[in-house]
Amino acid sequence: MNLVGISINHNTSPLELREAVHLSRDEIVEFIPRLKESLFSDGVVISTCNRTEIFGFPKNLGLDTTQLIEKLIEFKPGVGIQPQHIAKYFSCGAVKHLFSVASGIDSMIIGDSQILGQVKEAFEISEDLSFAGSVLRRIFDTATRVGKRAIKETTIGEGAVTVSYAAVQVVEKIFANLEKKSALVIGAGETGELAAIHLRDKGVGKIAISNRTIERAEKLAEKVRGEIIPFPFLAEQLHNFDIVISATSAENLIISFDDVKSAIKKRRGSPVVLMDIAVPRDIDPDVKKIDNVFYHDMDSLKIIVDQNLQKRMDQIPLVEKIIMEEMIGFFSWYNTLDVVPTIKTMRSFFEEIRHDELEKIRNKVNEDDYNKIEDMTRRMIGRLLHNPTVKLREFAETGANINDVTTRTMILKELFNLDHLPANGNESNNEKKI
C-alpha cells in the first residue's frame, strides 16, 4: 500500500505554527483540487486546532513527501515550516496513525472524543469532492469503528482532564440537581468560556457572566444563554449565586474574605461553591474557613486532573489492542484485492487451455463422448485449482503481511505467465493502490 502523508501536530510543532497552517473547511475545499491536480488520485485533509494532516494515494509512485510539504507551503506561504515540525507516514504506519488519531490516543488531551467527529467530517469533504476511492473509504470506515470501540469498550474518554471540566464535575458532586442552581463565571477568556459551556451542557438553571471587558462578556453570555453582571458590582451580587467559577488574569484578588462572608450572611447560611481556577488566584483562599463555603483552587483541581489523566493513560494499551485488531481486519480485506483477481486470472488461464484442447478433438469423437470429456476436464481443472485457490485466499484473509501476500501472488503470476492475461470477466485491479 502506498498511502503517504504528513502531519504537523502538537507533538511536532509550536502553537503558533499550528495556528498558521490551520485550514478552515472552505480552505480545505479550495486546497483539495490542487492536491488532486498534481499529487494524489484520492486523499483527505484533516485540520483541527492541534493538527493539520494530509494523506493520500500518489498518482506517481515516486512521490516524495517533500512535494506534499511544498504544496502546503505554497497554499500557506510564510508560515516557516521546518523539517522537525513534520511527521511523515507511509503505508501501514499511515493507517495506524489515522486509527490512533480517531481513537483519541494521539490527541493533546488523551481520549478527546471530538477528534472522531472531525476525522469523519474530513473524509466527508473528500467524498463530496470526488477525492475518495474505495480503499480510502474502507480506511476511514475502519477508523470510525476504532473510535467508537475505544469509547464503548474502554474508559479512555472518562474523567475530567481539564481544570475547567474538573471544576464543573466537583460542583456536580456537591449539588445533586444543577437545574435549580445559579452560576456566576468571572472571566470570559478561554478557561472561563470552557467552564461556562460545561455548566450550560450540565443543565445548570441560570448562568451569569462577568468580565472587565463588557464586549467579551456579552459574546460569551450569548453563547451560553446567560446574563451579564457588570464587573464593578461583583461583590454586591455574589450572594445571588450558588456556584462561582473565577478565571481572570487579574494580578490581585478580586473577591475578598469579607465579600464572601457578607454573601453567606445574605444567603442565610445556604452553601456556595467557589472554584478559583485563575493563576494567580482571584479569591482569597481563607474563605474556606467560612462555614458552608466549598472552596477549590488550581492545586486541588490539578490533583483531580492528574488522577483522571493517569486513568486515561492506563487505557492506552487497551485502545492499541483495538487498533491492532482493526488493522488486521482491514489488511485482511486489502490483501484479497490482489489475490482475488489473480485467482480469477489463473482460472481463466487454465480454462483457456482446457478449451483449446477440447477444440482439437471436437471433430474426432461423437457428441456424447465429447460431452463426457468436456465434463471430465472441467472437474479435473476444478480439483487441480481447488487447493491453491483456497490456500491463497486463506493466506490473504488471515491478515498476513502485505509484502508476503504480494510476493506469493507475483510468484504465481510468473510461474504461469499470467500478467498478460485480464482477470476473468474483464475485471481490473485499478481500485487497489499497491
Residues catalogued as catalytic: 49
DSSP H stretches of helix in 279-297: none
- Alpha carbons 101 and 107: distance in angstroms, whole number: 7
For the beta carbon of residue 325, count every other beta carbon within 10 angstroms.
13
Cβ neighbours of residue 135 closer than 8 Å, sequence gap 6 or more? 1, 57, 334, 337, 431, 432, 433
For residue 71 the three cell numbers come to 504544496
**Helices 402-416 + 367-397 axis angle, to 10:** 150
- Rg (C-alpha) for the chain, rounded Å, is 32
Residues paired with residue 146 on neighbouring β-strands, in sequence order:
none
- Reply yes or no: is the peptide bond before residue 232 cis, omega within 30 of 0: no
- Alpha carbons 396 and 402: distance in angstroms, whole number: 8
Name the one residue in this structure whose C-alpha cell is 484533516.
46
Among 244, 242, 222, CA closest to 234: 244
Residues paired with residue 207 on neighbouring β-strands, in sequence order:
183
For residue 103 the three cell numbers come to 481513537
In single-letter form, the type of residue at position 100 comes to S
Q: What is the DSSP string of 189-234?
A: SHHHHHHHHHHHHTT-SEEEEE-SSHHHHHHHHHHTT-EE--GGGH
- Alpha carbons 115 and 112: distance in angstroms, whole number: 6
DSSP H stretches of helix in 267-297: none
For residue 231 the three cell numbers come to 464587573
- Alpha carbons 180 and 166: distance in angstroms, whole number: 20
- Alpha carbons 323 and 78: distance in angstroms, whole number: 37
User: CB of 218 within 8 A of CB of 228?
Assistant: yes
On the CB side of 14, CA atoms within 13 Å amount to 6
On the CB side of 54, CA atoms within 13 Å amount to 24
3-state secondary structure of 415: helix
Q: For residue 411, how far is the Cα from the chain centroid?
A: 38
3-state secondary structure of 272: strand
